[in-house]
Amino acid sequence: MAAGAAALIITACAGPPPPTTYTPPVAVVSGSPWQAAEQLRQGVPNSMLMVGHGSGMLPFYPDGTVLVLQHLEWEHLRRGMTVIFFNEPGNHRSIGGEILVEEQGDHWRAVAANGGESASNFVDSGNYVGTVVAAFRSAAPADTSALLRSIPPGEAATCLMRCHVK
């Protein structure tokens, strides 16, 4: 992990906050967030990059944040980790990100990071994509479309997210 330590993020909200023990903070970079994330990703086994968009991951990850995901062994997942998963198995256009709250046999119950309605509530080995291990965003205001256009088209990780941005 870039900073070498997990951070505890405290936010104001109406109900009890979701567990955030393993939710990495966003690193704000002056250059390209994709390049910064790619440099880190090269040292992270079994990893990929993804550009988040929308408000579903607020307050942790604003629109245009480049996420470094690592596909962990199932038994290594822990309460408080932020994971990315397919909301609808087999539909790679339906991707969500939530925080793991309770292991229930062969799946995890998860909650939306923004405290809103959960897309799925359950993450299992069939819909799990990866765990957020780092996050980068530009110091300039986010322009997700411009960020995606700047990424080389051959990057395998971008195909999962390009379909979501007009």
Structure pTM?
Answer: 0.74
DSSP 115-142: SS--S-SEEETTTEEEEEEEEEEESSPP
Q: What is the pLDDT of residues 49-90, one digit of tens each?
A: 988 877 777 778 888 899 999 999 999 999 999 999 888 766
Q: What is the pLDDT of residues 20-57, one digit of tens each?
A: 567 788 999 998 899 999 999 999 999 999 888 777 77
For residue 98, report the phi and psi dihedrals to the nearest 5 degrees: -145, 170
Give the H or E element holding residue 86. strand 82-86
CA 89 centroid distance within chain: 18
pLDDT confidence of residue 4: 34
> Band of the pLDDT at 150, cuts 50, 70, 90?
low
CA 71 centroid distance within chain: 12
Domains of the chain: 26-162 (2.10.109.10)
Q: Per the structure block, which two tokens stand in for 9?
A: 């993020």
Largest Cα–Cα separation, the chain: 43
Percent pLDDT > 90 in the chain is 33
